A and B are shown apart, each in its own frame.
Chain A
Amino acid sequence: MIRSARRPAFAAVAAFLLSMVSWVWGCSRGDTQAALAEDAREPTLELLFTYGSEKQSWIDQSTKSFNDQRRRSGSGKLIRVRPVPMGSGESIDELLAGRTQAHLTSPASSAFIKLGNAESRAKTGRDLVGPTQNLVLSPVVIAMWKPMAEALGWGQRSIGWAEVVDLARRPDGWASRQHPEWGRFRFGHTHPRASNSGLIALLAETYAGAGKIGGLTLDDVRRPETMRFVEGVEQSIVHYGSSTGFFGRRMFANGPSYLSAAVLYENMVIESYDPKNRLPFPLVAVYPREGTFWSDHPVGIVEREWVTPEHRAAAQEYISFLLARPQQERAITFGFRPADPGVQLAAPLDAAHGVDPREPQTTLEVPEPTIVNAVLDLWQQVKRNARVVLAVDVSGSMNEQNKIGAARDGAQSFVSALGDRDEIALLTFNSKVAWALPQTAVAPARQRLLGLIGGLFADGGTALYDAVRDAHASFTKSPEPSRIAAIVVLSDGADRDSTVTLDALLKQIRFDSEGRSVRVFTIGYGSDARAQELQAIAEATQGRYYEGKPENIREVFKEISTFF
């Protein structure tokens, strides 16, 4: 999917957001269903509401308040709203296909509604979603540690994308700003094909490289100087990823040695001030001088036959509830700007929480889709390439519930998603560790690798720690700092056969702030997986732990692929 570079930008975003939330959806749905059981005794009108997961905390609280009021429809049925967090693109795709029969929907950006309606009109002659209203707003910002932002002049003057991305390109990093003690300028943004904020960051880099603030042309994008500029920035990227929220929370947890700055939503800067984060320094929002973009969270009623007049009236009532003053004021406490212009902006939307409600002063011009696609093609050419070891558990327990079959399928989708210039090795482990394929460039080995994965079968014990140790050692033997180094390991049970202990392994692989680290992404596969140990391995390396099962393993692998 990553390789299909000519898909429309937001369609690509839509496809990738699938992986980000599907497993969360499963959990959330279960909880909600349990709550709904209380009302099973009386006639109920259920409203299914799919929405962008960025605003989950606010929607959860507000919907609970709405449901607690036990409102009734025109025919006397109890109205229950069932909110389902979902990637914005995914929610539109699901509606278009009729798979998820939501009654109302709210993606993160109105661009998704426009695309969905255009596609629906082309196919059926009518819109997919009716007129919309914004629920809340949040601008895209560069989140930066306050002392670092001040070193760039924050508080005294406005800072631009050009300055930040130029600093990211410089090998001497912070030394060029009289702060050699801070080392390299570590910059991060999400995957531009998977995440809205990543795409925005990439467009901003391209504008900066072209020396423009509007009117970007294909010639600008294809000019060698633009390409060199974007390449310089992208080579400094720590890693990519599909979730802006995850990126931000990693930054809060790991401090300035992990990232100097990242492209996030403004509400995440405010979230960083939650005392539980215990930050080394405050984070502040830089509103780039050249402009940024807004996430505007439109909500609308779905125009499909499963939405009856009674659903419509109830949905309108729920929308009015979300737009009413108490809910809009509550949105502020979650760091969002209310969409009701009558609600005054108040704390925490203030300088004490690193943000400035009088910003941004301008927005960047969104280029035509052909130019956006050219920018994405450019990114594919100049992005920081990855070097990955894929370590797959082939112990006997993988035979249960067809775990091995689904794992093969997921691993193959992962390999398909890697770029041609990435490198990969395949390592399998049961009682012993075996290199099925040594490190090699993806492009020439892709088909062979897919075949190897397709032929994996399960047998024997589990030497998980030895496998991670060996995979890690392969990086330290021949380091290649220009690449994102990562191990992706899938395991379904307890380690019984390793020669190395977990403690010894963790010491060996722990994150190195000088940037020579190998991140380990662990997947606890099935109900017998040892989540605690796998989580410890991921956290020691600033990677990420995932819960996998045969039903979602493909999505988990896809999401991991967005880190590269």
Chain B
Amino acid sequence: MPRDQPGLTLIGKLTVAAVLAASAYGAWYYFRGHAAPGNAVNSAVTSGRAAGGDRSTTTIGVAYGTEKQRWLESAVEQFSKTPAGNNIHVELIPMGSIEAAQALVRGDERIHAWSPASALYKESFVTEWTLKHNKSPILREDTLALTPMVFVMWDERYQAFVKKFPNVTFRTIGLALDEKSGWSGIAGRSEWGLFKFGHTHPNQSNSGLMTLVLMAFDFQRKCRDLQMKDIVDEGFQDWMRGIERGVTGLSNSTGNMMREMVLKGPSSFDALFVYESVAVDYLKNAEGRWGRLRIVYPDLNMWNDNPFYVLDAPWSSDEQRKAAGTFLDFLMTEPIQKQSLVHGFRPGNPLVSIKATDSPFVQFGSFGLRVDLTTTCETPRAEVISNLLGSWQRANNR
């Protein structure tokens, strides 16, 4: 390893090591036809406590990434009305993936189950936990839903953008950010101000780290075998720094960034790089406020698999472990999985088709949404990702 290679914290190293398994798993899982891994999908009614039994309420805390906020909030409300969920109170705790992993290792007793955006952080979490507790923290797990990454842009600005640049890629986004006069130079629209692009914080959010990996693939014009030399390449470093200088926002939550884009309109962001599900979830809201959004897929893409872990934490009672499992069963039922589709996810339950006529993937084709991806990339080696994140931190002092 060259002497000037950037360093990374232990959790960072462990984290990026897990990316190997996570994205590969996601791709494998999706393309093998949604066969449900792990435990069987049971109905909430059959696996939960008997309705009308013990009337005391069991409270469980579920840490989750805000990209699933709308779907999970709706699911929790419906769960409370089922016989199985009648005596279970689910408290949703929005948290970034690294933030949740660290909270659990610290012993945050509010959390009894965890659903990050991807399994990217699983390995580092399990390793740290096991060092402390001498056993695995995960009692049971399942994949809730899958989603790739997309650019989302205000349609009016997208139309103006593609008149100047042939398509939306990290390269053309970089050129737009580099335009000193902003939209005045891009499309003669000085009233639109500077070009504003955002993604989440790579060291705090799964989608931010995904952004860096896909930027590296885009720059090197390849989809596999990303090497250390590709990352330390001076041209790539300069190019990445140039883009990142113009990036705004850097929230730890993809859902919150998308929400801000819809609430504040193009005054906050012209474009974001987010999960497909998050973009789909806000398409209609945006239309009612600031106008249409446009979804654009990067030529090279990767999957996020939204796992759900029932935790074997010392602060969890047997009732809470059982309740978390009951809630997971409920999330995997066909009606709730179908609702995940409404919120833009590609369901983890293979019985739910994304090609049904009421599927957003069919309905929102005019927004740029599509079912098939062109190319999904191979996850780089851990040390490559580690150095990519390290060089980003060093270049951006963040």
Contacts and interface: CB of A to CB of B under 8 A. Distances in A.
Contact of B191 (A139, A158, A309): A158
A345 interface: yes
A478 to B, nearest CB: 47
A337 B91 CA distance: 28
Interface in A68-100: 74
A341 interface: yes
User: Main SS of chain A's interface residues?
Assistant: loop
Interface stretch (B144-152, B219-227, B285-293, B326-334): B285-293
A363 B263 contact: no
Interface residues of A, number: 32
B193 A357 contact: no
Contacts of B291: 358
A362 B263 contact: no
Contact of A291 (B110, B193, B263, B290): B193
B191 A363 contact: no
Q: Which 4 A-B residue pairings sit nearest by Cβ, starting from the closest?
A: A362-B193, A341-B285, A360-B267, A158-B191
Given A361-B193, A362-B196, A214 B182 contact: yes
Nearest to B248: A365
Given A213-B182, A316-B91, A363-B268, A339 B263 contact: yes
B262 interface: yes
B95 interface: yes
A235 interface: no
B94 interface: yes
Interface string B268-291: 100000000000001001101111
Interface of A: 74, 131, 134, 137, 139, 158, 213-214, 289-292, 294, 296, 309, 313, 316, 337, 339, 341-342, 344-345, 357-365
B192 interface: yes
Contacts of A359: 267
14 contacts: A74-B57, A134-B263, A213-B193, A214-B193, A214-B194, A290-B193, A337-B263, A341-B262, A342-B285, A360-B267, A362-B183, A362-B194, A363-B267, A364-B193
B264 A362 contact: no
Interface in B210-249: 248
Given A313-B91, A344-B288, A213 B194 contact: yes
Instruction: Indicate the member of B192, B193, B264, B285 with the most A CB atoms within 10 Å.
Output: B193
Contacts, number: 71
Given A137-B263, A294-B267, A357 B289 contact: yes
B191 A289 contact: yes
Counting contact residues on chain B (CB < 8 A from A), the size range is 20 to 34
A359 B268 CA distance: 11
Contacts of A360: 265, 267
Contacts of A296: 264
B78 interface: no
A321 to B, nearest CB: 14
B353 interface: no
Given A362-B196, A363-B268, A289 B263 contact: no
B140 interface: no
A362 B266 contact: yes
Contacts of B267: 139, 291-292, 294, 359-363
B93 to A, nearest CB: 8
Contacts of A294: 264, 267-268
A131 B253 CA distance: 10
B381 interface: no
B269 to A, nearest CB: 10
Contacts of A214: 182, 193-194
Contacts of A292: 267
A362 B191 contact: yes
Contacts of A362: 183, 191-194, 196, 266-267
A358 B291 CA distance: 9
B278 to A, nearest CB: 12
B193 A363 contact: yes
A316 to B, nearest CB: 7
Interface in B162-191: 182-183, 190-191
A376 B379 CA distance: 48
Given A213-B182, A341-B259, A344-B288, A358 B265 contact: yes
Nearest to B57: A74
Contacts of B193: 213-214, 290-291, 361-364
Contact of B282 (A337, A341, A344): A341
A358 B285 CA distance: 14
Nearest to B99: A131
